[in-house]
Copies of this chain bind each other. A is one copy, B any other.
Amino acid sequence: MDITPNLLASLTGGKVEGDGDIKIIGFGKIEEAGPGYVTFIANPKYTHYLASTEASAVIVNEDFEYEGEIRPTLIRVKDAYSALAELLTAFEASKPQPSGIESPVFIAPGVEIPDGAYIGAFSYIGEGVKLGKGVKIYPQVYLGKGCEIGDGSTLRAGVKVYEGCRIGSRCILHSGVVVGADGFGFAPKGEIYEKIPQIGNVIIEDDVEIGANTCIDRATFGHTVIGRGTKLDNLVQIAHNVEIGENNVFAAQTGIAGSTKIGHSNRVGGQCGFAGHIHVGDENEFGAQSGIPNNVGNRNRLIGYPAIDARQFAKNQVYLRRLQDFFNKQNNKK
């Protein structure tokens, strides 16, 4: 079956303006997409590309306005970005998925491999591991004793999960993720540090995605928790006994120190650092590289080191820029 603007509109509940029957061969960015490609405009600052794009069709919001001639076919949808996500998901789902057990693998006696699962070569499935339906375990993955992986989760090549950790359904863990390494806990004893064994685990709830080389440490006791629907980018550090709620997004290289509790629906920029043993509420937004030393309530917009209200931060930058004039004035008054 050919892919056409009419088909895309029917998949996304959209309306076609222009030729609905041209053949679509791929997706592309508006500034790069060539003939036969479908693209999208979700952010108004890309609207001007409509004059020059060579794409054959453009997905736009239903209230999209443009003065001037429009050459490509438009597909008007409720939310262009979300419609794009749906189409790409359908496109991805149509690709052949890996399945079966490659060779060699190490599977401990007694472990059951469910139908439809994929176990890539050189993966290690320890004693007592439980795998959900349709799991995709790419090559070179390590699952320690007693781990549980929920239905439909995907662990890309080289993921390591230490013993006793639990990962929910429909999770995606990218290459190099380490789940359940020992928390950083030491008791000073004279001049040396004595290791405090970390006997808890990590629980990752459903629909979590974790970026490449991110680390989530096991709890000293109890659980380190990543709540349902939360997304962690690459190279993020989650220390022992941290508890994160639902539907948060954490950009790359952010770190959260031990025992901190974070609510739901927070958006955190890259390279932020959260102190240990603090509480952060819901629906906050943290600018990149912020340092958060203390408790935070709900619905704040913070940035800085230490993090303050984002408007105050912007004002302070103005004052700092004026500090030089200011000193000169004071010197002149002497």
For the complex, what is the distance from the CA of A28 to the CA of B102, rounded to whole Å? 41
Residue-wise, chain A 307-334 has the 8 Å CB interface mask toward B (1 for contact) of: 0000000011101101110110110000
- Say yes or no: is A128 at the interface (Cβ < 8 Å to chain B): no
B291→A291 contact, CB < 8 A? no
Complex copy number for this chain = 3
Q: Please tell me which one of the listed residues B157, B246, B323 contacts residue A316 in the complex, with CB atoms under 8 A apart.
A: B323
Q: Please tell me which one of the listed residues B158, B255, B291 contacts residue A252 in the complex, with CB atoms under 8 A apart.
A: B255
For the complex, what is the distance from the CA of A79 to the CA of B79, rounded to whole Å? 60
Residue of B nearest to A318 (CB): B327
B255→A273 contact, CB < 8 A? no
Residue-wise, chain A 203-222 has the 8 Å CB interface mask toward B (1 for contact) of: 00001010111010100111
Residue-wise, chain A 81-92 has the 8 Å CB interface mask toward B (1 for contact) of: 110111011011
| Given A222-B32, A237-B234: A255 in contact with B229 (beta carbons within 8 A) | no
- Among A144, A192, A255, A329: residue with most chain B CB under 10 A: A255
For the complex, what is the distance from the CA of A162 to the CA of B247, rounded to whole Å? 26
A192→B207 contact, CB < 8 A? yes
| Given A199-B92, A212-B178: A233 in contact with B184 (beta carbons within 8 A) | yes
Q: Which residues of B contact A189 (CB under 8 A)?
A: 82, 85
A196→B85 contact, CB < 8 A? yes
For the complex, what is the distance from the CA of A257 to the CA of B263, rounded to whole Å? 25
For the complex, what is the distance from the CA of A194 to the CA of B229, rounded to whole Å? 9
Residue of B nearest to A160 (CB): B175
Q: How far is the CB of A326 from chain B (nearest CB, A)?
A: 7
Residue of B nearest to A37 (CB): B221
B271→A288 contact, CB < 8 A? no
- Say yes or no: is A181 at the interface (Cβ < 8 Å to chain B): yes
| Given A181-B156, A323-B319: A255 in contact with B253 (beta carbons within 8 A) | yes
Segment 96-135 of A: residues with Cβ below 8 Å from B: 102-104, 106, 120-122, 124
B324→A327 contact, CB < 8 A? no
B176→A270 contact, CB < 8 A? no
B255→A270 contact, CB < 8 A? yes
For the complex, what is the distance from the CA of A231 to the CA of B183, rounded to whole Å? 12
A82-B187, A235-B237, A319-B323 given; 19 more Cβ-contact pairs under 8 Å: A27-B221, A32-B221, A84-B187, A120-B124, A122-B124, A142-B175, A176-B213, A181-B234, A184-B233, A184-B251, A191-B246, A193-B231, A193-B247, A195-B209, A211-B215, A213-B215, A215-B234, A235-B235, A326-B327
Report A's interface with B, CB cutoff 8 A.
27-29, 32-33, 79, 81-82, 84-86, 88-89, 91-92, 102-104, 106, 120-122, 124, 138-140, 142, 144, 156-158, 160, 162, 172, 174-176, 178, 181-182, 184, 186-187, 189, 191-197, 199, 207, 209, 211-213, 215, 217, 220-222, 229, 231, 233-235, 237, 239, 241, 246-247, 249, 251-253, 255, 257, 265, 270-271, 273, 275, 288-289, 291, 293, 305-306, 315-317, 319-320, 322-324, 326-327, 329-330
